[in-house]
Amino acid sequence: MNISSMMAKQVSELQHTLNLSLLKNQMATQAAQATVMLEDFAKAQHTAQAPHPTLGKQLDIRV
């Protein structure tokens, strides 16, 4: 093995390591963003909840 091929292998391994690190960071960022989005959605559901338009005003009875 010559020095050039050893360095090429090390560069390849370094690129692989960096790609894995970037992927891990992206996944963590996406998970955090999804968590914030779900929390905001839950807050919006609680504050924007309107009463049912016909709840308690009419009864459907069949005899």
Q: Where are the domains of the chain?
A: 1-63
pLDDT at 46: 73
> Model confidence over 6-61: pLDDT tens digits?
899 999 999 999 999 999 999 999 999 999 999 998 888 777 666 777 776 776 77
Rounded distance between C-alpha atoms, residue 55 and residue 38, angstroms: 28
The per-residue pLDDT for 5 is 87
| pLDDT for position 56 | 66
Model pTM? 0.58
What pLDDT is recorded for position 48? Answer: 63
Q: What are phi and psi of 17, to 5 degrees?
A: -60, -45
